[in-house]
Amino acid sequence: RDEIKRIGLDGIYVTSIYRNSAIEGTQMDPGFIITRVNGQRVNSVEEVVSELYDARGEVTLDGIYEKFEGEYAYVFYK
């Protein structure tokens, strides 16, 4: 969270990804900062969990990497 504040963003910083998880299949890397889940802005782990819990079918995680330009989207199916 301190890293996100340092660069002036709201979002959730991904520190690790579980092996054989749906997220691992997206090719997301640790260090990704999730800013939206299915188009809804998220600022806390609780908000991400809530959005993921309610999601059906295609799930899109939008965000950025601090050291790379542009926004990235990762899609998986639930």
What percentage of the chain's residues is helix, strand, coil (to nearest 5)?
Answer: 25, 30, 45
- Residue 63: what are its φ and ψ, rounded to 5°? 175, -160
- DSSP element (H, E) containing 50: helix 45-54
Note the pLDDT of residue 10.
80
Tell me the pTM: 0.86
Encode pLDDT of 27-68 as tens digits. 999 999 999 999 999 999 999 999 999 999 999 999 999 889
Closest CA to 37 of 25, 22, 49, 27: 49
Q: How far apart are CA 9 and CA 5, in angstroms?
A: 6
Q: What is the CATH number of domain 2-77?
A: 2.30.42.10
Q: What are the domain boundaries of the chain?
A: 2-77
